Structure 1
Amino acid sequence: MLTATLSPQAKNQIQEFALKQNLLTLHNRINELGVAEPIVQQQGLDRIVVQLPGVQDTAKAKEILGRTAALEVRMVTGHGTRSDARNYDPRKIEDALKGIIPAGSELLYSRIQEPLLVSKRVVFSGENLVSASPKPSQQGGGAEIAVSLDSKGAGSMKLTTRDGINRRMAVILVEKGKKEVLTAPTVQAELSSKFVITGMENLSEASDLSLLMRAGALAAPMEIIEERTVGPSMGEENIQSGVNSTLWGFAAIALMMMFYYMLFGAVSVTALAINLLLLVALLSMLQATLTLPGLAAIALALGMAIDANVLINERIREELRDGNTPQASIRIGYDKAFGTIIDSNITTLIAGAALFMFGTGPIKGFAVVHVLGILTSMFSAVMVSRGIVNLIYGYRHNKINKLSIGQD
């Protein structure tokens, strides 16, 4: 009889690896969009501190953080409910319930407590996952997850399903040593890199599961030993300063534009206010937390949005100097400025996308607000301002002799 033990150094290395893996996984789970900007850091040798600004549902947050779910897909080797599928053998299931389980298989239960004999060979796991997106079920009622696999997982899936048509395939959730069959559909055709997982009761359940699948499994189980809810007193002063800076900046821009461009300046300020409203609405839909990097991105978006209006107004001024009529100057000015605005904003969008892809934490959050600000500014500067100008001047085709744009 041989007895093997790990040395203290090996135990410490395993513990350190598991802790680092859990840090990364937790960060991925709670900050997929980068707008929550959590603080996830190690405390001591076996603890992790997680701070979640702006979270309202603490119970759901704890559930998502503490789950160690991992995904496995295996073939069913025996079942007793679907007579039209292969491996239908009620007697085999009865023997398994008595403890007589064939080699290479194990007895698992589905969510509706259906006993299934499942192969121990894994077709693919969560490591082979490229994407997992929840969506309403196409068969009516419930929800499903659209799954995309990497080349290794797709190859294994294709090879297995090629010989497994009309067999049942079990999608298994492994959590803290317990295995649960989420669903066991019948394979209807040869599958490869893209398919759907069915069996979720609602879209919320599918969203939570897909998030866990994308973020990966925890390397070691965790227990929440302390929970505290605190007010924003420490950062309240900084946030208020950021809000004041944005408001004062908006006021300064408004005064300058109305002084320099008169009525067209007022139109630009109105479009700018609508741009700010749209941006805040989008951030609210994403349940973004108002942080200093986010406020900085909002302030930058305001400056970029008014820059487009300045370009449009100057184009209109140029056309008036060239002797065009007011109506023609408005039309040509917007048309000429449109291409320049699109080109400049596309280059800025590329920079924002790079920040989102390669940045982390506050940088990623800044990038999200920055990109959304660019999109709303393009809409407000071109569509909203032109609509207001047409509303003011559009119905007086033969009565306009001069535009209130402060031209020389």
Structure 2
Amino acid sequence: MLNISFPKLLAIWLTVVVGLTFAMPNAFYGRVEAHNDAVAIIETGQTNAELEADAALWPGFLPSGLVNLGLDLRGGAHLLVEVQVEDVHASFLEGLWPSVRDVLAAERDIVGFVTEEDGPPTELRVRISEARGASRAFELVRGLGTPVTSFTGAAASNIDVTINGTLLTITLSEAEIVAMDERTISQTLEIIRRRIDEVGTREPTIQRQGSDRVLVQVPGVGSAQEIIDLLGTTAQLTFNQVDGRTADAGQSPGTGKVLLPSVDEPGTFYILESRPVVTGEDLENAQLDFDQNGRPAVAFRFNTSAAREFGDYTLENIGRQFAIVLDDEVISAPTIQSHIPGGSGIITGNFTVEEATNLAILLRAGALPAELTFLEERTIGPELGQDSIDAGKIACIVAGIAILIYMILSYGLFGIFANIALVINVGLIFGLLSIVGATLTLPGIAGIVLTIGMAVDANVIVFERIREELKTAKGPARAIELGYEKALSSIVDANITTFITAVILLVMGSGPVQGFAWTLMFGIITSVFTAIFVTRSLIVVWFSRTRPKTIEV
């Protein structure tokens, strides 16, 4: 007997209402987006009349999740950057020299005097004065190696040491190079993601390309230069002791010291101790602040251990200058007036509010382990994105109207029921995309258009089965019931294979391919749901009210 229980009917239409409710904010995209942005800022403690007005644009009790628009729809920046991993190799070897010097100096009576010689960045060359101590020096330096922290090179040392007469040559081992490159790229990906997230952009795409490249796509920004300015600074922050100042850029700073230019005083150079007191890696927080004169500055706070070191240093060096160095430039060189306990301070300089805010973002996100080289940069204007959206709308409307007309001409009243289900189907797709926060791309729109075409397949199968059952002289109720029963296996089988394909595209693909996979997967789910449940419930309600003796399909 053709019938659907009331609880089941209620569950079907409650699902439809919930799905369409979550899809509804996308019909008011601009208002809901302004509401969401205002609410996010208000939750941080900032508020004003304009923010309150924007927050009131959308009722708080309604869902406010939106389908995120991809780079090709919203416009934005596309960057391909290369990570200079060789800089990390050179930095490691450079930092190894003090340890090599100290371990050899401890046995000077055997190895003699120790000096560092010039060589390529991939090598650390050390000369000893006593040839008889060569084998001992080789053992001591090789003992500085540590096991490589990776699964593939767990038993290997991180350095290779060779000796030729009195010259020791130290290089990174192959296993360490692989492990170090992997760590560098992973750290770079995380820091890029943190920096971009701090700016508040929506759904950026940040993914590795090859062995040493990173693809960055940020929707909604005005130009690629904004992202380059944000990522182009490594943000290596150190606090160094000042030993003097000079106007001579060519002056030798001396052993263990560096000569760095001043940002605030052009033409002035500071002589600093090369070993920093503390570094930016020890920062717990950094944020925009203002100094006693109301000028923009950056307030910072160290972690517990660094705060103790910094406090001890300031206690012992009252009256002396110390330099705040960012990327090999002295941005400030204050004089220590008193003991600074607690590890908090403020960085002053000739900052604008925007510069101070960006510096705080960079310091919070952390320093990049290596310099980035921008190989490719493109700015996709919002006009182009709007053209894509408009073209997608036209494609959906044309496809939808063609299918609506075809279904009515082919199946009459039953075609109208299928068309109602088709409209609900598209709404449910957007509801699901909004719930999971998926990103809609131009290929994703193509997936929706494809889904519109596929959505009626299940209904066509059902209706054709009902036609066949009517030819066997069964009553209309029994024909409808048998039509759905016999068509169910064909519908499920066909859609499962397509769903598996969509899952593979989602897992193996990236970027636009994933956008297509999301809409295809959701389209299959909603198509099956609307064909098996929504269309059938409409037919059952109509049949139970009219009780026709015959039906035309």
Under a length normalisation based on structure 1, what TM-score does the superposition of the two structures give?
0.51
Quickly say closer, same or farther: Cα 1:101–1:51, change in 2 above 3 A: closer
Letter in 2 for 1:186: T
Counterpart of 2:318? Answer: 165
Aligned: 1:129 with 2:283: yes
In structure 1, distance between residues paired with 2:218 and 2:374: 14
Report how far residue 154 of structure 1 moved.
Answer: 0.5
Q: Size of the alignment, in residue pairs?
A: 227
The match for 1:191 among 340, 346, 349 is: 340
| 1:118 aligned counterpart, secondary structure | strand
Contact 1:108 1:118 in 2 (8 A): yes
Among the aligned pairs, what percent are the same residue?
33
Structure 1 consecutive aligned stretches of length 4 or more whose deviation exceeds 4 Å: 233-237, 293-296
How far residue 3 of structure 1 moved from its aligned partner, in angstroms, is 1.8
Q: What is the CA–CA distance in structure 2 between the aligned matches of 1:15 and 1:147, rounded to whole Å? A: 31
Equivalent in 153, 157, 172 of residue 6 of structure 1? 172
Q: Does 1:25 align with 2:214?
A: no
Look up the match of 1:309.
none
Rounded to whole Å, the distance in 2 between the matches of 1:27 and 1:293 is 23
The aligned counterpart of 1:339 is none
Change in Cα spacing, 1:98 to 1:26, as seen in structure 2 (3 Å) is closer
Shift of 1:233: 6.7
- Once the two structures are superposed, the pairs formed by residues 4-403 of structure 1 within 5 Å of their partners are 4-32=170-198, 35-79=201-245, 93=246, 99-111=251-263, 112=265, 113-140=267-294, 142-174=295-327, 179-192=328-341, 193-230=343-380, 231-232=384-385, 236=389, 292=434
Q: CA deviation at 1:74?
A: 1.0
For residues 285 and 358 of structure 2, the distance between their equivalents in structure 1, rounded to whole angstroms, comes to: 14
Distance 2:292 2:188 in 1: 35
Identify if the C-alpha distance between structure 1 residues 294 and 194 changes in structure 2 by more than 3 Å, giving closer, same or farther. Answer: farther
Q: Secondary structure at the match of 1:130?
A: strand
> Contact conserved, 1:135 with 1:203, CA < 8 A, in 2?
no
Q: Residues 21, 235 of structure 1: CA spacing in aligned structure 2 closer, same or farther, 3 A cutoff?
A: farther
CA distance in 2, matches of 1:221, 1:295: 33
Q: Is the 8 A contact 2:241 2:272 kept in 1?
A: yes
CA, structure 1 residues 208+102, in 2 after alignment: closer, same or farther (shift >3 Å)?
same
Which one-letter code corresponds to 1:131 in the other structure?
Answer: N
Aligned partner letter, 2:309: S
Give structure 1 stretches of 5+ with no counterpart.
Answer: 80-92, 241-290, 297-408
**Contact preservation (8 Å) 2:239, 2:278:** yes
1:275-304 alpha-carbon deviations (Å, 9 max, x no partner): xxxxxxxxxxxxxxxx946989xxxxxxxx
Q: How large is the Cα RMSD of the aligned pairs?
A: 2.9
How far does the alpha carbon of each residue in 1:202-259 deviate from its partner, in whole angstroms, 9 at most, with x for none?
111111111111111111211111123344479959x99xxxxxxxxxxxxxxxxxxx
Name the SS for the 1:122 alignment partner: coil
| Helix, strand or coil at the partner of 2:191 | helix
Q: Tell me how far 1:36 sits from its aligned partner.
A: 2.3
Q: With structure 2 as the length reference, what TM-score do the two structures score?
A: 0.38
**2: distance between equivalents of 1:35 and 1:226?**
20
Distance (whole Å) between structure 2 residues aligned to residue 294 and residue 34 of structure 1: 19
When residues 25 and 78 of structure 1 are mapped into structure 2, their CA distance, relative to the original with a 3 A threshold, is same
List runs of 5+ in structure 2 lacking aligned partners. 1-166, 394-432, 439-553
